[in-house]
Amino acid sequence: MNRDIQQQLPKPGIKHELLQKFGLIGESDGMQQIMAKIEQVAPTNISVLIIGESGTGKEIIARAIHEKSLRKENPLVIVNCGAIPEGILESELFGHEKGSFTGAVGMRKGYFETANGGTIFLDEIGEMPLNTQVKLLRVLEGGEFMRVGGNDTRKVDVRVIAATNRNLEKAVQNGEFRHDLYYRLNAVSIHIPPLRERRSDIRPLVKKFADDFCRQNHIEFKGFTEDAFLLLENYLWQGNIRELKNVIESVIVLEKGNQVDSHQLKHYLKPSAILDRQLPVPTSKSAEQAERELMITVLLDLKNEISQLRELILKHVYPPKRLSGLVSNSHPISYHQAEEVFTDEDDAEINSITQMEQELIQRALEKSGGNKRKAAKLLEISERTLYRKIKEYDLPY
Ligand SMILES: Nc1ncnc2c1ncn2[C@@H]1O[C@H](COP(=O)(O)OP(=O)(O)OP(=O)(O)O)[C@@H](O)[C@H]1O
Ligand SMILES: [Mg+2]
């Protein structure tokens, strides 16, 4: 075997250990290399940046790194930077002194102090505002920080693992993410491929999720037929492993007692995400149910186009008919100017776009049973944006 490849494979036993201790499955070459990397970086203090689409396993890998490190007896603090409102993120991370802002009735330690001696996992780091990034860089460089409203420099010994599903290089180019922080975090990066690019992991994952779920819930499940496995391997899995796990668990609950074939399985999958169009189409689904599911898929697919369109209208309005002689084509007009120059027709259009957005958000919240984290993922927006929209539209969530 080529020496380079040999170096990238996990040592005998590591794969078994990662499976036994963390339930981490990985048969594909991509996952094998990640497992080897976990083993290499875990015992060091080096910062790690984990990059991967939603549901690919960023958190489980961060946990594995912490648990395999010398810091494992100390805390692992998990912070979702996207879910904490911008205004309070800094005080959540670094703490605050009494009276440093309205509502700061007492001193409060931040997550960095809580994680002292251990690891902090900064999830959705791409959502961190620039001023907080400056403070984070300082901690990374010298372990030093100040509580909000405080004058004393404090020191901590914390290892940082960060994760993102955004293209941080692009964010750096756009001036939304500091390049010095990016290079510092990126000392070691772990790119987790989406599930659709590592199909050999699908069967072992399905078997593991089915076994675990049946054992925990005392369910007897007769398994999947070969054509069902083929269908699972020929699906886009836009929600990656999390989506796979949810589908398997739903199938087990609703189809117990049966061996599940591709016809039954298709009821749990989005038709638009099935790659093999040759596979048979299910016939037992009610027309109403099929139509509803299709509607939701189409609406969600439209979401991106809608927000782009909305942005285009609000930020770069082309000269409206009424003022075409007054506004130059090359200069976008501001939001306030736009409000003045819209015709009634334009207003109606914007209203209906807003309504569509509101409806999408409402549907996503309904679909996720009110779980904002899940709803934000479904809509592919940050949790913070979702909270803002809920407030903006005064939705009852
Ligand atoms: N390699 C794997 N083996 C077994 N289970 C996995 C693996 N990767 C992920 N999972 C499971 O998939 C689910 C999603 O994983 P995780 O929460 O780590 O993803 P994530 O990338 O952090 O997602 P998000 O971006 O949405 O926060 C979890 O239930 C996790 O246990
Ligand atoms: Mg996560």
The CA–CA distances, whole Å, from 290 to 209, 231, 337, 377 equal: 27, 19, 44, 23
| Pocket mutation for ligand 1, best pick of 241, 248, 383 (most atoms within 8 Å of C-beta) | 241
Q: What are the structural domains of the chain?
A: 42-193 (3.40.50.300), 196-273 (1.10.8.60), 301-392 (no CATH)
- Entry pTM: 0.71
Q: Is the CB–ligand 1 distance for residue 274 below 6 Å?
A: no
What SS3 state is found at 236? coil
Atom of ligand 1 at shortest distance to CA of 31?
1
- The ligand minimizing its distance to the Cα of 376 is 1
Task: Determine the distance separating the centroid of ligand 2 and the alpha carbon of 80, expressed in angstroms.
Answer: 8
Q: Is the CB–ligand 1 distance for residue 64 below 6 Å?
A: no
The CA–CA distances, whole Å, from 167 to 8, 51, 54, 189 equal: 25, 8, 13, 13
57-74: b (≥16 Cβ within 10 Å) or e: bbbebbbbbbbbbebeeb
User: Are the beta carbons of 67 and 59 closer than 8 angstroms?
Assistant: no
Task: Determine the distance separating the centroid of ligand 2 and the alpha carbon of 281, expressed in angstroms.
Answer: 34
Report which DSSP code applies to 277.
T
Atom of ligand 1 at shortest distance to CA of 241?
12
- The ligand minimizing its distance to the Cα of 240 is 1
pLDDT digits (tens, 9 = 90+) for 106-148: 888 999 999 999 999 999 999 999 999 999 999 999 999 999 9
3-state helix, strand, coil in the chain (%, to 5): 55, 10, 35
pLDDT (0 to 100) of residue 335: 35
pLDDT (0 to 100) of residue 329: 34
Phi, psi angles (nearest 5°) of residue 357? -60, -45
pLDDT (0 to 100) of residue 17: 79
The list of the chain residues with pLDDT below 50 reads 1-6, 277-283, 316-342
Q: Is the CB–ligand 1 distance for residue 191 below 6 Å?
A: no
Q: Residue 165, Cβ neighbours under 10 Å: how many? A: 20
pLDDT (0 to 100) of residue 397: 77
Task: Determine the distance separating the centroid of ligand 2 and the alpha carbon of 81, expressed in angstroms.
Answer: 11
User: Are the beta carbons of 24 and 18 closer than 8 angstroms?
Assistant: yes
Reference 122, options 60, 78, 73; nearest CA is 78
User: Are the beta carbons of 357 and 364 closer than 8 angstroms?
Assistant: no
pLDDT (0 to 100) of residue 345: 56
What is the rounded distance in angstroms from the CA atom of residue 237 to the CA atom of residue 263?
18
